[in-house]
């Protein structure tokens, strides 16, 4: 089947994201230095984030709440109000970070749009993701925008049905094995993994290297060539 729908992740696929979270985490670790060493503080924050996913979901707001909870967990009643204020300030700064497109993204999206309809499939806080998309200037490149609380096979099946495309004619590309690759494959689509060095460990899984519809790519630009390759196979 030819590719009729190209689904793309947003954070760290179209624009930089995790670098801002890592910088904010480093700031938290420095704030908590009187209560825990860096390794313990980082481990506690990650455990708190994962624990809170079912309550707060993904994104900067959830991260800010987890930072506050981590501070109280490690410092208890000894954590001064000034530290909580600093954490809130860090969370606001995380929400306000500039949107920096990855190199060559605009040209890549133009090339992909020449081949199939594009749909943005991203998870996280609705308000923040909408704000980042507006600041990116990329919104008009997409035939659809899907901002979801999480990504699973049902998410992709719903998108394919909405656009009237069989799963075998769709491809998903992103930097998360957990959220982009495995659910898209399970839904019957093709899936491209585009690794980035700052990926959150919670989002990673061993690659399905033997899967016939999976490919690891060095960049989103390489997706253009893989879509062409899939088209040649289909022909």
Residue-by-residue pLDDT tens, the chain, 235 positions: 789 999 999 999 999 999 999 999 999 999 999 999 999 999 999 999 999 999 999 999 999 999 999 999 999 999 999 999 999 999 999 999 999 999 999 999 999 999 999 999 999 889 999 999 999 999 999 999 999 989 999 999 999 999 999 999 999 999 999 999 999 999 999 999 999 888 888 888 899 989 999 999 999 999 999 999 998 887 6
Note down the domain range covering 39: 18-95
Q: What CA–CA distance (Å, rounded) separates 94 from 90?
A: 6
* Shared domain check, 183 and 200: yes
Residues 109 and 161 in one domain: yes
Q: Does residue 31 contact residue 142 with C-beta atoms inside 8 Å?
A: no
Number of structural domains found in the chain? 2
Same domain for 119 and 227? yes
Residues 82, 60 share a domain: yes
Contact between 18 and 11 under an 8 Å Cβ cutoff? The reply is yes
Same domain flag for 194 and 112: yes
Structure confidence at residue 200 (pLDDT): 81
Same domain flag for 79 and 151? no
In terms of domains, do 187 and 230 share one? Answer: yes
Q: Residue 197: what pLDDT?
A: 86
63 & 23 share domain = yes
According to the model, what pLDDT value does residue 71 have? 98
Asked whether 170 and 190 are in contact (CB, 8 A), the reply is yes
- The answer to whether 124 and 59 are in contact (CB under 8 A) is yes
CATH assignment at residue 112: 3.40.50.1000
**Structure confidence at residue 233 (pLDDT):** 81
120 and 40 within one domain: no
What's the confidence (pLDDT) of residue 129? 94
Paired strand residues for 214: 191
Give every CB contact of residue 180 below 8 A, 6+ residues apart in sequence. Answer: 9, 151, 172, 173, 174, 191, 193
Residue 166 is predicted with a pLDDT of 97
- In CATH, what number is assigned to the domain containing residue 70? 1.10.150.240
pLDDT at 23: 96
Task: Please tell me whether residues 171 and 198 are part of one structural domain.
Answer: yes
Within this chain, do residues 151 and 170 fall inside the same structural domain, yes or no? yes
Of the candidates 68, 220, 179, 59, the one whose C-alpha atom is nearest the C-alpha of residue 131 is 59
pTM for this model (two decimals): 0.92
The answer to whether residues 84 and 106 belong to one domain is no
Question: Of the residues 95, 115, 150, which one is the last residue of a structural domain?
Answer: 95
Last residue of a domain, one of 79, 95, 111: 95
């Amino acid at each position: 089947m030819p590719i009729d729908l190209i689904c793309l992740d947003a954070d760290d696929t179209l624009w930089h994201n995790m670098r801002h979270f890592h910088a904010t985490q480093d700031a938290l670790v420095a704030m908590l230095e009187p209560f825990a060493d860096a390794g313990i503080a980082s481990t506690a924050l990650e455990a708190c984030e994962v624990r809170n996913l079912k309550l707060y979901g993904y994104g900067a707001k959830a991260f800010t709440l987890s930072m506050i909870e981590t501070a109280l967990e490690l410092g208890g009643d000894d954590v001064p109000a000034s530290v909580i204020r600093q954490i809130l300030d860090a969370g606001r700064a995380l929400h306000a970070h500039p949107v920096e497109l990855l190199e060559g993204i605009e040209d890549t999206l133009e090339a992909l749009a020449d081949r199939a309809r594009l749909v943005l499939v991203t998870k996280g806080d609705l308000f923040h993701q909408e704000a980042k998309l507006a600041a990116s200037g990329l919104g008009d490149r997409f035939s659809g925008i899907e901002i979801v609380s999480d990504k699973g096979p049902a998410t992709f099946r719903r998108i394919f049905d909405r656009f009237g495309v069989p799963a075998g004619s769709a491809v998903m590309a992103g930097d998360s094995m957990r959220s982009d690759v495995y659910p898209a494959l399970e839904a019957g689509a093709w899936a491209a993994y585009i690794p980035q060095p700052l990926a959150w460990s919670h989002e990673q899984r061993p690659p399905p290297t033997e899967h016939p519809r999976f490919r690891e790519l060095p960049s989103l630009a390489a997706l253009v060539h893989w879509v062409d390759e899939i088209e040649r196979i289909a022909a």
